[in-house]
Structure 1
Amino acid sequence: MNIDLSGKTALVTGSTAGIGFAIAKGLAAAGAIVVLNGRDESRTQEAVAKLKREVGDADVRGVAGDVGTAAGCDAIVSALPAVDILVNNAGIFGPQDFFETPDAEWERFFRVNVLSGVRLSRAYLPGMRDKGWGRVLFLSSESGLNIPADMIHYGVTKTADLALSRGLAKRMAGTGVTVNAILPGPTLSEGVAEMLADAVASGKSLEEAGVDFVKAHRPSSIIQRAATVEEVANLCVYIASPQASATTGAALRVDGGVVNTIA
């Protein structure tokens, strides 16, 4: 399969590192004009330079803005009025006991993990509809189906992303625009590497620490290891492609089989 995204402009939020950067790299390698996003201008431009080094002929740009705020989303849309592909990747996570999670933390997670996608989809979907082609991807999580007891606030936001993507897919019915959710499982991103830092400091490789984490905390995993960011990005690039035109309103798992269901 030859995925050609030449002429398509893609915005990937939260893409200075981790899964977001890998998605941006995959889209750039497929020929898309890629716009990276981070909260900080200098870090965003560093990521742009890195992606240009790694994909030599890529057309890569950057737009800084905190998608967890209305002002940040407005700044992004002002700098980039239209896109063909929107990847709502920006997100935060972290374990915290339910009884020790205050309203402010719930609200912070909801603003970043859910409202960012609401605001940007509301801004960009009409243009996609008018052109008769577009792709919107929400990075949800297996935690949206398999709510972790130590991250209930996070799981709730990822369930909300599933509902949002399904609803928007129905809203865009018959327009040529598809909306889907991607559900990664444990993935060796920079954020997960920080979470596993103590295990790595004890002498294990990051991959070994990932295996231990999966076996201890996600024992239903079929692959029995954490995924790489590239493995997640591969699915995203396909779903963003013309070849995926009949896939919409779907919750697509790249979780290593963690969610124990055949559906």
Structure 2
Amino acid sequence: MKIELNGKTALITGSTGGIGLAIGKGLAESGATVVLNGRKRERVDAAIADLKAAVPNADVRGVTADLGTADGCNEVVEAEPNVDILVNNVGLFGPHDFFDVPDDTWQQFFDVNVMSGVRLSRAYAPRMQANGWGRIVFMSSESGINIPADMIHYGFTKSANLSVSRGLAKRLSGTGVTVNAVLPGPTLSEGVQDMLREGQEQSGKSMEAFAADFVQNERPSSIIQRAATVEEVANMVVYVCSPLSSATTGAALRVDGGVVDTLT
């Protein structure tokens, strides 16, 4: 099985590091032109350099914009009007008690985690439909099904991603454009490492070992009993973005290590 995306342009939002950058590398390795995105120019430039170092022949460029605003989404569309593959990856997360989360934080999480994908999908899907081919992926989370008590404001946005992706897949029925959601579980991205770093340093363990302990304590239903790597998540996304996944749409595809303990 060989994935070829030559001639396709892929936009990955929130892709200056972590899962987003790993997706960018995977798509570049498959021949796609890759557009990276972040809020700070220096981080976008660094990510472009990182990707080119990993994939020397990659056709990659970047666009700087804050996708938590309608203006930021418009800036991206104006800069990159011709996108065949859209990966709605940008997102905020972090544990906070329900009673300590103010209205403006709820709104910020909704704008970044949900509305960025809504706005960009609304902008790019018509062109994909006209071309008879396209791929839209929403990065949800196992937290969209197993709502964490300490991240309710995050979990609700990931549930919303599932609703939007399923509904949009139906709206684009028969067009050649697929829409899917990918649900990572605990993943050793830079953001998760930052969240765990203080405890990890105090423990004296490696980050991988401490993250495994975290998964076993906080997500005991995990079958792999460790955090996934960003590359493991990216592999699923690259497949879903490829021509090989043409019969997969409206799906919620788990890369959660078996954390969600249900059959469906």
Q: Show the 5 A alignment for 1:1-263.
A: 1-202=1-202, 203-263=204-264
Shift of 1:73: 0.5
Once the two structures are superposed, residues 200-232 of structure 1 have per-residue CA deviations (whole angstroms, 9 ceiling, x without a partner) of 212111101111110111000000000000000
TM-score (norm. length: structure 1): 0.99
C-alpha RMSD of the superposition: 0.6
Distance 2:207 2:126 in 1: 43
Distance 2:252 2:186 in 1: 17
The gaps in structure 1 that reach 5 residues or longer are none
Letter in 1 for 2:166: R
Distance 1:70 1:131 in 2: 25
Shift of 1:97: 0.6
Shift of 1:199: 2.5
Once the two structures are overlaid, the 10-residue window that deviates more, 38-47 or 240-249, is 38-47
Letter in 2 for 1:254: V
Letter in 1 for 2:260: V
| Percentage of pairs with the same residue | 68
The gaps in structure 2 that reach 5 residues or longer are none
Shift of 1:50: 1.1
Distance 2:247 2:23 in 1: 21
Distance 1:19 1:199 in 2: 22
Letter in 1 for 2:172: M
Shift of 1:42: 1.7
TM-score (norm. length: structure 2): 0.99
Distance 2:37 2:193 in 1: 21
Letter in 2 for 1:229: V
Distance 1:45 1:74 in 2: 21
